[in-house]
Amino acid sequence: MSLDAVLRTALSGLNTNQAALRTTSTNIANVNTPGYARQEVVLSPTGAGVEIGEIRRIVDKFLTKELIGASAYDGYYQKQSEIYDRLSSLFGTPDDVLSLNSKIDRMFDAFATLATDPTQAARRIGALTDIQSMADSLDRYANQILNLRSDADSQITGEIAILNNALSQINSLNNLISHEKESGGNPAALEEERARAIEKVSDIIDIRVTERSTYKVEISTISGLALIDDLPRIVQYNPPGQVETTVVFNSITVHKVDATTGLAAATGVALEPNLRAGTLKGLVDMRDKELPEVALSLGELSANFMDLINKVHNANSAVPPPNALTGRNVGILATDAHGFTGKATFAVLDSASLLTSSYEIDFGAGGLVTVQDVIDDVNANVAGGTLALANGVMSFTATTSTDGVAIAQTDATPSARGGRGFSHFFGMNDLLSAREIPHFDTGLTTAAGHGFGATGTVSMEFRGPGGILAASHTLDFSAVGGTVANVLTDLNTAFSGYGTYTMDSNGKLVLTPAVGYESYDMKVRSDTTTRGVTAKSFSDFFGVGDHYRMDAAFDITVDSVINANPVGFALARLDTAPATGIPALNSGDNRGVNAFFALSSETTNFAGAGDLPVTTTTLAKYGNFFLSNIGLEADRISSLAEDRNILKQELGFRRDSVTGINLDEELAAMVQYQNAYNAAARIIAAVNEMYETLLRI
């Protein structure tokens, strides 16, 4: 071998070992970098020496794949657990002194105290204050749930920004790694960066990663929706300006990006149906499923609280009685069948609460068919008082300004339509009101006329989490028959396979989603209908959409007139047959207060709402179910989050045991490469001496 050949061989050893030392130094420098995969130098002999054949990352593909899957589920449950922790801290537990149950207990305690002497203004004020305190708590909780949904939506926007940055980085690194490989370079550092970006994506979305022969990776969701292939993708989402119970969230979409122009395609593919796990899925589920279900349960509790208080208040009367009892717009027409059973007494009283006129109406009498028939019958038999229906609002007014009016139920056969007495059904003596009415029990039957005439349309959409549209339909009253049954047929035909509309015994329109669509809800995009002269639209009259049930918890307030003057608090019961000269109403009568207190043990029917099923129980027990369910669900999600996090950590430990840095091994390799480097350097020095000797000769 010539001296030149020896020199070239030694030089190759010098350069090769110098590069190997750099790789070892990089490994040692990243000993504390989470997820870093150590690099290994592969030496290759040449015709005259040695060279680095490859610097490869040590990766266990199986463990890496499992870790990617575990990261997605860890992110899913961690996000849900974070929001549930905040939710449970807001509501507390049933035994907390500031919980809903404590508010309910204090309210009934106030009624018990008031019953001992209903005439005391301080006790009346105390009871009204406790009722309003309960109402304020419900409103506060409803707003806090809405705030959590808004926060989840903001986090979705943030996660999408991180996702797009990571996808863009992976796409760029794909091209660099492919070019480096094809040109014989060392892309190990670039592959490390790409692996970090893939980990970011796997936290946000459940993904499948496939490496191609070109050294690029393709990424898709587990369901198969491409995120990176020959073309890059961008994820787009347009958040609403304000999150309300009526909001329809826009879908998150995946768009192809033109490689030449860099512009995203105008239309994309919905991402939500393709999500199985990841932080994005966790946030979407909390925003569109879990939190709305809590809001529905709270709305059911609020609606029944309000309805029960109003039921008793409508059965009671203030002393002295008011000059007029005026209800709310219930959408009822004078031509509707009155639908009442049983009996009720309409009375006019003078300033001393003495009866001047009273009439017990029997709704089952053969001559009474329509609401107008009832009005005419009462007016024909009550002197000094007028019953009237105007634009869906029922009123009973004394002719003389100093007189008062009262409506009483007949104990043996109380009046009822939609499960409520006459005054209660029309809301003529309500104590509480809210953003939305407490019930949509219309009292109609399927054979009854729907009352919306032959004009107007309702644009309806059956949507799921993430705003996914399953089906849509325009209910056109110009093409629908005149009965409720005709409307049900039209809706059930249009939404066949997605859900079924029925009407219950109280005249409530009920939507039962089909299997697989339990988290879907009907949204009304537009409604140009009106029920006669009442200005009540179809969706307002029947409460179409979950937001009507949620809104029952917002803005619950005690009647402002009664709040300002507690004398108007209806606590007495009308005596329909008093002795001559004896007042029919007495301020010391505690029967009305006792009726309020009896609500503490009275069971009522609660509809299925969120995670809480149909049940018949007391107000306090339902409150306990509501709070306990939140606590149990928070514990369940927390346990799942902990389990998934442990699994992720275990897989991480196993991966690191294969790919991680062992300082002893790296230091040994460093010594080996240094010695080899020194040996090559000494050979070069020896060759140099030989050349000098030859030159001297």
Do the beta carbons of residue 303 and residue 549 sit within 8 Å? Answer: yes
d(CA 638, CA 81): 5
Do the beta carbons of residue 7 and residue 684 sit within 8 Å? Answer: yes
Task: Pick the most confident of 61-65, 231-235, 442-446.
Answer: 442-446
**Confidence grade of residue 552 (pLDDT, cut at 50, 70, 90):** very high
Residue type, 91: F
- pLDDT at position 284: 94
**Confidence grade of residue 49 (pLDDT, cut at 50, 70, 90):** low
User: Residue 238: exposed, middle, or buried by beta-carbon count in 10 A (0-12, 13-18, 19+)?
Assistant: exposed
Instruction: Look over the chain and give the mean of its residue pLDDT values, rounded to a whole number.
Output: 88
d(CA 474, CA 528): 11
Do the beta carbons of residue 394 and residue 324 sit within 8 Å? Answer: no
- pLDDT at position 65: 79
Residues contacting 368, CB < 8 A, separation 6+: 338, 361, 362, 374, 377
Which of 284, 262, 287, 289 minimizes the C-alpha distance to 271? 284
pLDDT in tens, 606-624: 999 988 999 999 999 999 9
Range with the lowest mean pLDDT among 265-269, 382-386, 442-446, 525-529?
265-269
Q: Residue 687: phi, psi to the nearest 5?
A: -60, -40
Do the beta carbons of residue 519 and residue 546 sit within 8 Å? Answer: no
Half-sphere exposure of 225 (CA within 13 A, CB side): 20
Q: Which residue has the tokens 């029997």?
A: 362
d(CA 397, CA 387): 7
- Please calculate the CA angle 257-260-264 and round it to the nearest 5 degrees: 20
Whether residue 693 is predicted with pLDDT greater than 90 in this model: the reply is no
- In 3-state terms, what secondary structure has residue 643? helix
- In 3-state terms, what secondary structure has residue 397? strand
pLDDT in tens, 84-99: 999 988 887 767 767 7
- Please calculate the CA angle 35-36-41 and round it to the nearest 5 degrees: 145
**Confidence grade of residue 499 (pLDDT, cut at 50, 70, 90):** very high
Instruction: State the pairing for strand pair 355-362/343-349.
Output: antiparallel
> What Rg value do the Cα atoms of the chain yield, rounded?
38
Average pLDDT over residues 298-308: 96
Do the beta carbons of residue 426 and residue 364 sit within 8 Å? Answer: no
pLDDT in tens, 424-477: 999 999 999 999 999 999 999 999 999 999 999 999 999 988 788 899 999 999
Q: Which residue has the tokens 């027990």?
A: 621
Average pLDDT over residues 574-600: 93
Instruction: State the pairing for strand pair 343-349/404-409.
Output: antiparallel
Which of 539, 482, 535 minimizes the C-alpha distance to 511? 539
Which pair of tokens denotes residue 540? 């307002």
Which of 694, 686, 499 minimizes the C-alpha distance to 9? 686
pLDDT in tens, 146-176: 999 999 999 999 999 999 999 999 998 888 8
User: Residue 182: exposed, middle, or buried by beta-carbon count in 10 A (0-12, 13-18, 19+)?
Assistant: exposed
Identify the helix (H) or strand (E) that includes residue 54: strand 49-57
- pLDDT at position 50: 61
- Please calculate the CA angle 504-423-557 and round it to the nearest 5 degrees: 90
Q: Residue 219: phi, psi to the nearest 5?
A: -125, 135
Instruction: State the pairing for strand pair 207-211/217-221.
Output: antiparallel
Looking at per-residue pLDDT, the higher value among 47 and 139 belongs to 139
Do the beta carbons of residue 344 and residue 408 sit within 8 Å? Answer: yes
Do the beta carbons of residue 240 and residue 153 sit within 8 Å? Answer: yes
**Confidence grade of residue 691 (pLDDT, cut at 50, 70, 90):** confident
**Confidence grade of residue 121 (pLDDT, cut at 50, 70, 90):** very high
User: Where do the domains of the chain lie?
Assistant: 3-58+660-696, 457-542
Direct distance between the N- and C-terminal alpha carbons of the chain, in angstroms, rounded to an integer:
20
pLDDT in tens, 641-662: 999 988 888 877 776 665 555 5
- Please calculate the CA angle 312-318-320 and round it to the nearest 5 degrees: 165
Q: Which residue has the tokens 């389990």?
A: 643
- In 3-state terms, what secondary structure has residue 215? coil
